[in-house]
Amino acid sequence: MGERLRDKVAIVTGASRGIGAAIATHMAEEGAKVVLVSRKLEGLQAVADEIRAQGGEAIPIACHAGRADQRQDMLDQALKAYGQVDVLVNNAATNPHFGPMLSIDERAWDKTFEVNVKGYFGMIQLVAGHLQQRKAKGSIVNVASVAGKMAAPMQGVYGMTKAAVISMTKTLAMELGAAGIRVNAIAPGLIETKFAQVLVDNDAIRSSVVARTAAGRVGQPRDISGGAVFLASDESDYLTGDVMTIDGGWTLA
C-alpha cells in the first residue's frame, strides 16, 4: 500500500465499475479512505469488498448524484463514517442518446444534463461547503471527456455536458483557489468500459480510433486512475483549473 493519499477521505461517484471503480481502488491503494457512490448499492459492494481484501478502507453509499436530498444524505453518511472529506471525484455520467444531435428527445436531453452537469455541480457545492466550513484544503477532480473539447458526432449532447464540466472546472478553480480548494478535470479518450461499449465494440470505430492514437491502443480504466491520484494528492498542490487530457495521443492527430 502507498501513502500518497494517507489521511485523506475521497468521495468517488460512479464508483461501481469502469473508470470510477479504477480511481477508487487506486486511491485506496495510496492510503485514502474511499466513499464509493453510485445509484445502486450492489455494484458498489463488490468494489468495496475488493478494496478491503487488499487492505484498504471503503464504504459504499447508494446515491443519485443528480438529486439534492440524496447528495446531502450521502455526505452525512460519509462524515459519520470518516469525520471529514478532502477529495471529490465527480465521475458519474450518462449518455442515453447515440445518434445525430438533432434527433435527441427532451427526456434524454434532461437526463444527460441532470447527471453530467447538475450532479457534478451539486456535489461540488456540498463538498466545497464542507471544506470551507473546516477551513481545510481540498481537491475536486471532474471527469470530463475529449468530447467536451472538440466536435462529438453522434454524441453531441453528451459532448455539450462535458464542455460545460470543463467550463465549470475553470471558473470554480478561480473562485475557490483562495480557500485552498483546487478544481481540475480529466478528459479521457476512448476507454474500454461498459459505458463506452457502443464505441469499443464497433470494429470500424475502434479501428479508426486506434489508427490515429499515438499509443496504438484503446485506453483502460487504470490509465485514468493515475491522473486522478496525482490531482488528489499534495503533489499537485500548485495545479488548479487544468484539464488533463489522457487519451493516448488521440487528439494530437
Summarised one tens digit per residue, pLDDT across range 35-63 is 999 998 989 999 999 999 999 999 999 99
Residues noted as catalytic: 158
At residue 211 the predicted structure's pLDDT band, cuts being 50, 70 and 90, is confident
Q: What is the pLDDT of residue 223?
A: 95
Residue 164's Cα: distance from chain center in Å?
Answer: 14
Q: In the chain, what is the greatest distance between 2 CA atoms, to the nearest angstrom?
A: 51
Q: What is the pLDDT of residue 114?
A: 94
Q: What is the pLDDT of residue 206?
A: 72
Question: Dihedral of CA 245/65/14/94: which sign?
Answer: negative
Taking a C-beta distance cutoff of 8 angstroms, is the pair 39, 61 a contact?
A: no
Q: What is the pLDDT of residue 196?
A: 56
Pairwise CA distance, residues 95 & 158, whole Å: 6
Computed over every residue of the chain, the mean pLDDT equals 93
Q: What is the pLDDT of residue 41?
A: 92
Assess whether pLDDT exceeds 70 at residue 207.
Answer: yes
Residue 32's Cα: distance from chain center in Å?
Answer: 16
Pairing of strands 33-38, 138-143: unpaired
Q: What does the pLDDT look like over 143-202, one tens digit per residue?
A: 999 999 999 988 899 999 999 999 999 999 999 999 999 999 999 998 886 665 666 666
Q: In the chain, what is the straight-line distance between the N-terminal and C-terminal CA atoms, in Å? A: 38
Q: What is the pLDDT of residue 212?
A: 86
- CB neighbour list of residue 1: distance below 8 Å, 6 or more residues apart: 29, 30, 31, 54, 55, 56
Taking a C-beta distance cutoff of 8 angstroms, is the pair 59, 40 a contact?
A: no
Q: What is the pLDDT of residue 132?
A: 98
* 15-24, 119-128, 137-146, 202-211, range with the lowest pLDDT: 202-211
Q: What does the pLDDT look like over 78-122, one tens digit per residue?
A: 999 999 999 999 999 998 888 999 999 999 999 999 999 999 999
> What number is the average pLDDT over the span 139-145?
98
Q: What is the Cα gyration radius of the chain?
A: 17
Could you tell me the three cell numbers for 166?
470543463
Could you tell me the three cell numbers for 58?
471503503
Domains delineated in the chain:
9-244 (3.40.50.720)
Pairwise CA distance, residues 158 & 163, whole Å: 9
Question: Dihedral of CA 186/190/193/197: which sign?
Answer: positive
